Homo-oligomer: A and B are copies of this chain.
Amino acid sequence: MKPQRANSRNDALIEAAAELFASQGYKSTSMRDISKAVGMLPGSIYYHFPSKDDLLLAIYESGVERITETLEAAVEPLVDPWDRLQAGMSAHIRAITQESAYTRVIFRVEPDDVPKYKSQLVALRDRFEAQFKSLVDDLPLAPWVDRHLLRLMILGAGNHARLWFSPDGGNAPEEIGARFCRLVRDSICN
């Protein structure tokens, strides 16, 4: 059984691409940028991936796999629905702000940017968002609450963190997740 050695360049490549896609966007990142970051020539990338679009697809897939696993792992040991939601929100924010570039790419690059794989990318995003469905569905909520909209609000709030979160100053993702959760949960009125 061959060790993962063969994939080592492959991994470096996809990782460098993820970093660049996450920070500059998909269209603004050229194959040359990626090749430079990983110390190859542009043409060499095509030994590993058939096209730039496929590179993105691979990153999306890796990213979603990671974020869903992370989320599942964070939520699984907990029982109380609110605890589970809070853990989920924290994991979401962490993934979007601190975790590897893979997860950041998912929210930085829009499926529209890659018509060829648009449906796949949308499906991958959905796969991630679906995890929140059960978290919200399990909550004991007042009957008037629109669970669908609640889920969208939570996701929006989390995704938005990508734009304002700063790792240095202030709070850790877990604290932000907790606070978000409490804002949603408790009556905030005076």
- A40 at the binding interface (Cβ < 8 Å): no
Of A9-17, A72-80, A141-149, the one with at least 4 CB within 8 A of chain B? A141-149
A23/B159 in contact, CB under 8 A: no
A150-B183, A180-B149, A190-B141 known; A25+B156 contact, CB < 8 A: no
- A5 at the binding interface (Cβ < 8 Å): no
B145/A153 in contact, CB under 8 A: no
Chain B residues, Cβ within 8 Å of A48: none
Name A180's closest neighbour in chain B (CB-CB).
B153
A190/B25 in contact, CB under 8 A: no
Total contacting residues, chain A, CB less than 8 A: 41
B188/A150 in contact, CB under 8 A: yes
A179 to B166, CA, bound (A): 30
CB distance from A128 to the nearest CB of B (A): 13
For chain A, residues 143 to 173, give those with C-beta under 8 angstroms from any C-beta of chain B.
143-146, 149-150, 152-153, 155-161, 164
A153/B183 in contact, CB under 8 A: yes
A187-B186, A188-B185 known; A24+B156 contact, CB < 8 A: no
- A69 at the binding interface (Cβ < 8 Å): no
- A105 at the binding interface (Cβ < 8 Å): no
- A2 at the binding interface (Cβ < 8 Å): no
Chain B residues, Cβ within 8 Å of A25: 27, 110, 112-113
- A189 at the binding interface (Cβ < 8 Å): yes
Interface residues of A (CB under 8 A from B): 23-25, 27-28, 108, 110, 112-113, 139-146, 149-150, 152-153, 155-161, 164, 176, 179-180, 182-190
The 5 closest A-B pairs by CB, nearest first: A156-B160, A27-B27, A187-B187, A156-B157, A153-B157
